[in-house]
Chains A and B, each alone.
Chain A
Amino acid sequence: MTAVIDYGIGNTYSVVMATARFGEEVLLTNRLEELRAADRIILPGVGGFSQGMDNLKRLGLDRLLRETVAAGKPLLGICLGLQMLFEWSEEGESAGLGILKGQVVRFRQPGLLVPHMGWNQVTFQPQAGCYRQAVAQNAFFYFAHSYYVVPEEKEIVAGLTEYGCPFASFIRWRNVAGVQFHPEKSGSHGLAFLGTFLQQGKEG
């Protein structure tokens, strides 16, 4: 069973609909016991970093997410869900979950249109592993964000996208995957990506 975390500000409808397309049992919840029982967890995200973190803390989900990672359960962060996995964000100058080392910064390149909205290519890196086989190299995915993650350890970058500068659009570290794009809104490539994530935790 896949649990999609409902913490009040996520784009949960599209994520649940896209996940359900695979015939997967999907549960939209913020109840700790249900999340603990899930085989894999998706942390979607829309809106402000500090509000997202406040909501996670209020519901006790910050500790649960750290437990999830420590237990080796597959976790996918989408957009703000990816950003909150990091230590700190410029947006609201707030601390994140600190599961991944690094920061979240705003696009500042002169003349660049911010937010970065629309379709853009993701160049998969060797770290992408099975995702690289499932999704075409340089496939187009859908983006809508003003901030991007800057990981401290470059080896966790599994996908790069160019927007004013190359930025990490796909992060993979142990059982944690995080994407700056929205696979649930990225048509066929997005579905292929989600399908690959849903296979995590099934192997072996």
Chain B
Amino acid sequence: MKILVLDDGSRANFVQAFGVARAVPGAELEVLSISFRGPTYRLPARKGNYPVAPKLLALFCWFQWWAAGRKLLMSMLKKPADWHTGKPACVLSAGSSLAPVNLILARSLGCCSVVIMTPSLVPLSLFDLAIIPYHDWLRHRVRRDNIVVTLGAPSNIDRKTLEEEKRTFGQQIGIFRYSEIVGVLLGGNDQNYRLSPGWLKKFLAGLQSYSRERRVGFVFTTSRRTPEDVVQYLKQELARWENVLYEEYPGKGVRQSHYPGILACSELLLVTEDSINMISESVSSGRKVVIVGVERKKKRLIFDRTIEQMCQKGYAHYIPESELERLGLYLTESLRCTFQTLNEAERCAQKILQVCQSRRFC
């Protein structure tokens, strides 16, 4: 079964689509890069520019002008959309801007159209399958046969890669010197959450109290959204710690990421609550996961429901920001608990297979 995976250059979107596609048994994957020409626009409190082209293409989807839509699509691409593996059984993409492209390609090729996340511009009913994270679904609460609701985002984490990473990266950083490795995944600011040096100070004090009576080694990564003052404070503090095995600061000038290695080497993962993607990857890694609260711009957030579900279902523990001074105590207790591993990519993959088989596309 051939799957055409669309990539618009957003890593967060692509790993979800690729992770699901890879989990489809016997799938042959081809990645098609999509980048648009023409004008762009900006959104408040968001980074980057967004192309106008998908909005135009969405109009063609509404009127179901597939052939004309495809002509327009081809004229709007920076590079021609060529794929080499023949007719796919399914076109798969994640994110709103790729949704109209997905639909136009799938309809003109006569194959299944599978989208991840709610496409804001195109009606859900037009897709063969829509994979929607729970927090996204809560905004609309649409119940349809073609919708699969996932807890968190599907991830690209698989056991084999993690084992390999643990062996290679683990050896490289010397995890064997410690009886326990704690991975720290720090997110950053967005319209809902805020990370500040003040928060980080409390968090690091909690980590130190936890490691005082143990042989704990730490591995740290920030994200592209981590504010610069927080990164600088972290670098300055960690320079004094003797048990930090590895630090990663994604951004300009960083060529190689050992993010899967960080997940692989850790027994316990601490991940800030602002990133559903990092949380989803953590709970899919088979490690014990503690979600750490950060400062909030709003009291009630839709993501709280996802985190609540994850905690109730035994995938993770949560520590609110107000309780950070007791972090050491809580982590000790969390380590004694059994955690479940989430595997939403596999559940979605099975659903894709069913849909393609029912439509006789594979």
Q: Which residues of A contact B (CB under 8 A)?
A: 11, 13-14, 17-18, 46-47, 79, 111, 113-115, 117-119, 140, 142, 144-146, 182, 184-191
Contacts and interface: CB of A to CB of B under 8 A. Distances in A.
Given A115-B304, A119-B319, A14 B330 contact: no
Nearest to B323: A118
B309 to A, nearest CB: 7
Interface string B294-316: 00000110001101110111100
B313 A46 contact: yes
A201 to B, nearest CB: 24
Contact of A113 (B309, B320, B333, B339): B320
Contacts of B43: none
B338 A17 contact: yes
Given A117-B311, A144-B312, A188-B333, A13 B340 contact: yes
Contact of B337 (A14, A79, A111, A115): A14
A115 B310 CA distance: 12
Given A18-B338, A46-B309, A47-B309, A11 B319 contact: no
B283 to A, nearest CB: 13
Contacts of B317: 118, 142, 185
A187 B336 contact: yes
Interface of B: 293, 299-300, 304-305, 307-309, 311-314, 317-320, 322-323, 326, 329-330, 332-340
Please provide the 4 A-B residue pairs with the shortest distance between their CB atoms, ordered closest to farther: A187-B333, A14-B314, A144-B311, A187-B336
A181 to B, nearest CB: 11
Given A14-B340, A46-B313, A142-B337, 11 more contacts: A14-B339, A113-B300, A113-B322, A114-B304, A117-B308, A117-B320, A142-B317, A184-B337, A185-B314, A187-B334, A187-B335
A45 B304 CA distance: 18
Contact of B313 (A11, A189, A190): A11
Contact of A119 (B309, B312, B314, B330): B330
Contacts of B326: 119
